[in-house]
Amino acid sequence: MTESITTQKYKAFSVIRIWTLAANTVTQLLRMRILAFLTVFSLIAIAAGFSFPTMSPEQQLKLLKDVSFGSLQIFSIVIAIAATSILIPKDLEDRTLYTILSKPVPRYEYLIGKLLGVLLLIGGGLLIMDLILSAVIWIKQSLIITGQIAALKQEQSATPENVAAIKMIIGKYGLTWGVHAGVFAVFLKASVIAALSLLISSFASSTLFTIVVAFAFTIIGHGQQLLRDWFLHDTLSSGFGKIISGLVVIICPDLKLFDVVDKVITGEIISAVTLASMGGMATLYIVGYTATAYLFFVDKEL
């Protein structure tokens, strides 16, 4: 009877165990000096916000968001791949993995906890960057509006209509909810890449292999539409080439699904339907990659 109870406890899904693993993972990954990257990002955002004063107000705000979102994507992708790639090898090297699995902790809980820790780290970093970016955009936007109104007053044309028009035009390219939607899209993309890296790490023999392959699939994922068009419509291609491209289309995530940054930069509105669709697709990718990672990891000799 005691053995049966122990087995049931071992098999039971424990949110507490997963959260503990995630918290420990965040602590472990903080040694990657994420705070230093946040400082670099702050300097980039401030520099982009207060450079090129000869540009038009709209161009200044667009450049600020363009440079900042580029930094956001680099941060999230690098952390997603590098952090996830070192987790299992690092735990094996330190023999931490043997201690965790002997608690006992099911291997699927270990994978979920590790992935959740990476996502918490990425999400926390992006949240802080979102706050920094929002503050810089708001300050830049306010300075531009103040300058434009002052110019109108010098021209003696500061009518309520002209002032309202300036605020509306500058506001479109300034701080809107679309900025936060863009950061959310960056997080979803990074989450998918992290799950893919975890899958590769579950069967890879080295950290370097995981990083290289994950970066390769990330690059391919941004151009998957071209591969899909070639796979479906190019009738002149060889059968072997089509098989290879077909496998890439199936395995590699379509990261273009999460590219709304260009719309955010130009001031377009990101609808709730678009965000929900991206969230659903990201969830499917994450669940699929994590489940597949477990299939490899459950039979892996440790």
Q: What is the pLDDT of residue 7?
A: 42
200, pLDDT greater than 70: yes
131, pLDDT greater than 60: yes
C-alpha–C-alpha distance, residues 227 and 220, integer Å: 9
CA-CA-CA-CA torsion for 68, 272, 124, 72, nearest 10 degrees? -20
* Mean model confidence pLDDT for the chain: 80
Q: What is the pLDDT of residue 5?
A: 39
Q: What is the pLDDT of residue 11?
A: 55
As a three-state string, the secondary structure of 130-171 is: HHHHHHHHHHHHHHHHHHHHHHHHHCCCCCHHHHHHHHHHHH
Q: Are 217 and 142 in contact (CB under 8 A)?
A: no
Name the band, by pLDDT with cuts 50, 70 and 90, for residue 6.
very low
Name the band, by pLDDT with cuts 50, 70 and 90, for residue 173.
confident
203, pLDDT greater than 90: no
Tell which residue, 211, 216, 180, has the closest CA to residue 198: 211
Per residue in 181-216, is it b (16+ CB within 10 Å) or e — as a string?
A: bbbbbbbbbbbbbbbbbbbbbbbbeebeebbebbbe
Q: Which pTM was predicted? A: 0.84
C-alpha–C-alpha distance, residues 228 and 230, integer Å: 5
Q: Write out pLDDT tens, residues 61-73.
A: 888 888 888 888 8
C-alpha–C-alpha distance, residues 237 and 233, integer Å: 9
242, pLDDT greater than 70: no
* Long-range contacts of the stretch 47-53 (C-beta < 8 A, 24+): 49/136, 49/137, 49/139, 49/140, 50/140
Say which residue, 232 or 84, is predicted with more confidence. Answer: 84
- SS percent in the chain: helix, strand, coil, step 5: 85, 0, 15
Q: Are 254 and 221 in contact (CB under 8 A)?
A: yes
Q: What is the pLDDT of residue 3?
A: 37
Q: What is the pLDDT of residue 53?
A: 61
Span 248-256, mean pLDDT?
77
Q: What is the pLDDT of residue 225?
A: 67
Span 294-298, mean pLDDT?
86
Q: What is the pLDDT of residue 282?
A: 92
Which of these ranges, 39-43, 133-137, 165-169, has the smallest mean pLDDT? 39-43
Q: Write out pLDDT tens, residues 24-58.
A: 888 888 876 666 666 676 677 667 666 666 677 78
Span 170-192, mean pLDDT?
90
Span 72-97, mean pLDDT?
83
Span 260-264, mean pLDDT?
87
Which of these ranges, 8-12, 211-215, 250-254, 263-267, has the smallest mean pLDDT? 8-12
